[in-house]
Amino acid sequence: MAGFDWNQLYTVFKARMGDASAVGRGSIPKNRSYPYTDLALTDNTGGNYDLSNHEGTQTPVVTVTVYCDNYDDATCQQVSVRAKEIMLSYGFQCIFQPIKIDNDTKEVSRWIARYRRTFGAGDELSVLEQ
């Protein structure tokens, strides 16, 4: 199995977001504080299989959705930029820039971005040197 660990990414992301936003994954709690950032693993394709059918790589796609109350686009944008900095620092590529998505309700602002990275066997999640 290749080196991607979803729990590790979530834990690191949540810690690095700090006070910028509450963070959850895959579901939106009913009683949340804003801004709220949802991290969802939306794909995790395997690849580079050998003749014994052992997986050589995994390519996770992570969707980051930021919610703010009072239709606060400025805060949503700031939190989205912070999330993007964190994801890029771990080698993920931004494949869908943080952008405002219209809602049915005017009380909550929602911004979405998607990130992708290929992990090979033995790869670890670590901050890239800058």
The domain limits of the chain are 6-120
- Rg of the chain on CA atoms, in Å: 16
Helix (H) or strand (E) holding 82: helix 73-89
Q: Tell me the per-residue pLDDT of 32-64, one tens digit each, with 9 for 90 and over.
A: 788 999 999 999 988 888 888 888 899 999 999
**Percentage of the chain lying above the pLDDT 70 cut:** 92
Distance CA 98, CA 21 (A): 16
Model pLDDT, residue 107: 82
- Give how far the C-alpha of residue 87 lies from the chain's centroid of Cα atoms, to the nearest Å: 7
Characterize the bridge pairing of strands 57-69 and 93-101: unpaired
pTM for this entry? 0.90
The tokens of 85 are what? 């900095």
Grade residue 1 by pLDDT with cuts at 50, 70 and 90: low
CB 12 within 8 A of CB 90: yes
Burial category of 31 from C-beta neighbours within 10 Å (exposed 0-12, middle 13-18, buried 19 and up): exposed
Q: Is residue 27 scored above 70 in pLDDT?
A: no
- Architecture per CATH, domain 6-120, reads as 2-Layer Sandwich (3.30)
